[in-house]
Chains A and B, each alone.
Chain A
Amino acid sequence: MASYSNICSINYMYMNAAVERSIGNLSGFVAPQLLASERYVELDGSLAKIFPLGRVQLGSVVLFQGASNSGVTSAVFELLSSGGMQKRWSALVGFENLGFLAAFEKGVDLAKVVSVPNPGRDLAQVVAVLMEAFSVVAIANPGFISSSQARNLISRARSSKSIIAVVQQSLNMYTAQSKGLWLSSYDYVISSSISGFSGLSKGGGFIKERRLSLSLGSRRVGGAVKSITVPI
């Protein structure tokens, strides 16, 4: 018996390299394939230039932050209109005054965007349900989520492969609402601001172009900040 098992193990060791090679070849055919598109949303435009490898991993939590007049809504449109969102559904939770016409003009496929403007007190539950079906769940007023609920949501995002996008404005001067803080651990933090305009002169013309500055901080790239300014 002993000799038999010895032969086996010798054979095994002898074959190891060859077997490994052929398994490697085989795995291309038989292994369950996870395509890149099932793990990432490919970005384009401005966000592609600041996100590492031009894509954002499904299951991550992204914070969009800025004061009022910071172009934060436009930054969200940049995400929703990116190429990788083409066949994906997104949900907007708590966006009360969104200008869908602007989103449409930016190239967002409105047929795949569902809006829940007044989620009420059960915000966390609403977001959890939406994550089962939507690739991106954007939340505009996360004030009603406690930190334990937030932790649950993050682990759900990881398992259901949805991106949570939290949009946070420090104080909205136009509605006098301050947006609640949610949590401190984001995978990506996008800060936006508007750095200039063109097209207007005192009493003439119209706004032809605005310049949107986006900067990305991420735990995944060692906290380095990458910035870009784009015309919108």
Chain B
Amino acid sequence: MSKKISKAKLRRPQYSLFDPIEQQTAPRVLLVGFFYWPFVSATLEGTDPLAVVEDRGIVVHVSPKALMAGIKVGDKIRTSLSVAPSLEVIRADAVDPSGLFARIAIALEQFSPLLEIVDLGTCAINARGPSRYFGGEKELVSKVALAMKEQILKVFPAAREPRNSSADVFGKGSVFSFGVSMADGIFTARIAARDSLLVPPGESGSFLAPFPIRELPDGELADTLDRLGVRTLGEFASLDFYRVMERFGARGALLHRMAGGLDTSALEISEIKEDFSQKIELSESLEVASAVVFACKARVEEILEHLLEKGYFCQIMRVRLMSENGEESVRDWGVKDGFSTQLLLERIRWQLESWSSDPKLAPSAGVEVIELKPQRIVSALRSQLDLDGSERASIAKVSQALSRVDAIVGERASVAKIKGSRTPKESVEMVPWQLHLFDMDESRDKKAKEAPPWPGKLLGSSPAICFDPEVEVSLLTKEGISVIVLADVILRGEPYWMKVQVSGKKARVLEWSSLWPMMERWWDPEHSTKVVRIQIVTDDMGALLVKSRDGKWFIEGLYD
């Protein structure tokens, strides 16, 4: 830890001539944010879900009912399950498989063709032009709110009859409640959307100032700042820009600008000097979405690879679909971590589906041409600013090689991350390499190492092989009677033989350890089971971690 940032050093950011001018003005953004989007489809099925959305163990969305149970965004999934055991957990990548949100967001397209879906439940347009055209910002906001409501009722006719007669379909607490805001930059607009506020131009900085530092989209940095005594966005923004950059690097500098209401990371079109747009002409016009996706897969892959070879990831892609009869559908799609082939194909499919299901705009013939035009590209190495040149070059080579391997193999290569847990298998999380390269801090591994041991964690070193699925074996006494666990603490019978079911091989058990009882999946009362682990050593020098579950024995790991 370096020295504390003292309050004496707080002062307004002073920009030098070297700051690019355009970074000091944020684009005017109109943003529509749904508060409970991930739970819409569950609600339509007739249940009022007590549910949360989880991303890597952390709660990222909370349904109204779960909110009442006291669960907050940012909680650990384990702790919230202990608060509400019947909690339904939705994985972040499984939230909107059928592209429902795209069909709602399309309502914004009548105001501006450059629609950006920031994430599921949040969409935005650049508001400068449209607000002039529609007679002012206030008028635009109310028109958008009206159009969104109409669109929701169109897409979900069932929403018209509220189950609870007193509740308003769009009132607070309903899954369809949403906010419309206008502000400078997406970051400010997102916060303003919670109360449907219109933040006048240039006042985003003072609007953001009283909000807590936790609003920053980087929990770790927010924690650090909090510990340093920087409690609000305003305090952070008033720190000297160059000191922040020195201390927290390029990412810190970016967040610093955000906190000051200078989030430029949205809806910028002028950034790209080189034209990366590509046309994909299908050999025949196709109507079925999946057929189109299949037909353009190879070219999409090629286009993204070409970008990557130049050292870029694409964050916003404009997808233009053209039918045989000349109709068009244009939409901007955004992904924070850059598009992979799979993500982009998914977006293309969503766009196709929502286009062809729209009664007014549906094309009269199949799709013939797909044009892809990157709207915002970022250097694939943007998070590597602190590394020396040779290492940067090697990361570029690594990402090139891996994207080619992904294409050959058809699934993503991954990198292991260590997190605290009780079993060797649960302690490892495999992360797709793209995410890893963007977020290459080893601090997490170090933290895991320093963390106190988990209760019930195995003693000694971990097995070098962890079988998945586990390998079934039988443990027998000398007489051939199965060894079983009594009362979680003692074995009935002494293990003498171990027989592997799949290969039929038998080995003599020489030694075995004391017993480690543990609840497996203890947070999930329906699936939790009691398991007992022991280590055994066989006469062919096999050292194994075996466990007993429901009266059967399994090899969990091999100390190879």
Contact = CB atoms under 8 A, between A and B. Distances in A.
Contacts of A48: none
Given A111-B415, A114-B415, A195-B541, A205 B514 contact: yes
B543 A69 contact: yes
Given A118-B411, A200-B513, A102 B494 contact: no
B546 to A, nearest CB: 11
Contacts of B502: 174-176
Given A73-B465, A89-B394, A207 B445 contact: no
B418 A101 contact: yes
Contact of A100 (B404, B413, B418, B460): B418
Interface stretch (B53-61, B263-271, B532-540): B532-540
Interface in B481-538: 491, 494, 500, 502-503, 505, 507, 511-514, 535, 537-538
A179 B449 CA distance: 34
Nearest to A125: B408
Nearest to A119: B409
Contacts of B558: 68-69, 174
Contacts of B427: 101
Nearest to B558: A174
Interface string B315-327: 0000000000000
Choose among A68, A91, A196, A232 the residue with the greatest number of B CB atoms under 10 Å from its CB. Answer: A68
A87 interface: yes
A70 interface: yes
Given A115-B415, A119-B409, A77 B464 contact: yes
A141 B525 CA distance: 40
Contacts of B170: none
B465 A98 contact: yes
Contacts of A72: 560
A133 B560 contact: no
Contacts of A106: 461
B462 interface: yes
A110 B398 contact: no
Nearest to A96: B468
B537 A99 contact: no
Contact of B445 (A111, A125, A193, A232): A111
A213 to B, nearest CB: 10
Interface residues of A, number: 62
Most chain A beta-carbon contacts within 10 A, residue among B409, B448, B449: B409
A129 B559 contact: no
A132 B401 CA distance: 7
Contacts of B543: 69, 194, 197, 207, 210
Given A132-B397, A202-B512, A99 B463 contact: yes
B511 A197 contact: yes
Contact of A102 (B410, B440, B464): B464
Contact of B418 (A68, A96, A104, A196): A104
Interface stretch (B75-83, B113-121, B428-436): B428-436
A203 B515 CA distance: 8
Most interface-central of B448, B507, B537, B538 (chain A CB within 10 A)? B537
Contact of A110 (B416, B460, B505, B557): B416
Contacts of A3: none
B249 interface: no
Contacts of A96: 468
Given A129-B404, A133-B401, A69 B513 contact: no
Given A114-B433, A133-B400, A206-B514, A101 B428 contact: yes
B67 interface: no
B391 interface: yes
B464 A200 contact: no
B503 A129 contact: no
Contacts of B394: 89, 133
A103 B418 CA distance: 10
A102 B543 CA distance: 14
A119 B413 CA distance: 9
A175 to B, nearest CB: 7
Contacts of B275: none
A98 B555 CA distance: 14
B467 interface: yes
B557 A99 contact: yes
B198 interface: no
A122 B409 contact: yes
A203 B491 contact: yes
Nearest to B397: A133
B44 interface: no
B19 interface: no
Contacts of A103: 416, 464
B401 A99 contact: no
Contacts of B462: 99, 101-102, 105
B409 A100 contact: no
Contacts of B397: 132-133
Interface in A59-87: 67-74, 77, 87
The 7 residue pairs across chains A and B that have the minimum distance between CB atoms: A100-B416, A69-B542, A200-B511, A176-B503, A133-B401, A133-B397, A194-B541
Given A69-B543, A97-B466, A133-B401, 16 more contacts: A102-B424, A102-B461, A111-B415, A113-B415, A114-B402, A115-B415, A129-B405, A133-B398, A175-B503, A176-B503, A202-B511, A204-B513, A207-B460, A207-B535, A207-B537, A210-B559
9 contacts: A99-B428, A111-B415, A115-B414, A129-B401, A129-B405, A132-B400, A174-B503, A175-B467, A206-B535
Interface of B: 391, 394, 397-398, 400-402, 404-405, 408-411, 413-418, 424, 427-428, 430, 433, 436, 440, 442, 445, 448-449, 458-468, 471, 491, 494, 500, 502-503, 505, 507, 511-514, 535, 537-538, 540-543, 555, 557-560
